[in-house]
Amino acid sequence: MKPRIHRRKLRLEAMILIPMAWLSIRLSPASRVLAWADRPPRTIRRFADPDLPTQVAAAVAARAAWFNLEAPCLPTALVAQFMLRRRGVASRLCLGVRRDGSALEAHAWLEIDGKIVFGAVGGYAPIAQYGGRAAGKPS
């Protein structure tokens, strides 16, 4: 498949999934959403394109700009994780907090093998992680 067509398909998929993820976060209990995020890929593609996480992150970030979301990090991180999982790449959804004066700020990002692939992190302390393991392997 040509790279241009591949990027277009990734962006279309992200455009469809972002509103769905936002609605599921708003309407479903957090335990259900996080249990879904903790699921491993059905099959691991060891020889997947090494640029795939970067391509998925770029597609999700490009389409996330279209939606004026109040807190875009969690739904977009869930979408990127789903798109990678669907293609056999295990990623870990990380949730973190940091203090901003007297308030706490929360953030979500994705990691693969300890390396951040989506959602830049600046001073957030990780408090929870979901996913990032192969099917059948304990975490």
Torsion, Cα of 99, 107, 109, 24 (10° steps): 160
Token pair 């869930």: residue: 78
Give me the residue spans of the domains in the chain.
3-131
Amino acid 45: pLDDT: 82
Cα–Cα distance between 78 and 42 in angstroms, integer?
Answer: 17
> What residues of the chain score a pLDDT lower than 50?
136-139
pLDDT, tens only, 5-28? 999 999 999 999 999 999 999 999
Amino acid 64: pLDDT: 87
Give the count of beta carbons closer than 10 Å to the beta carbon of residue 118: 26
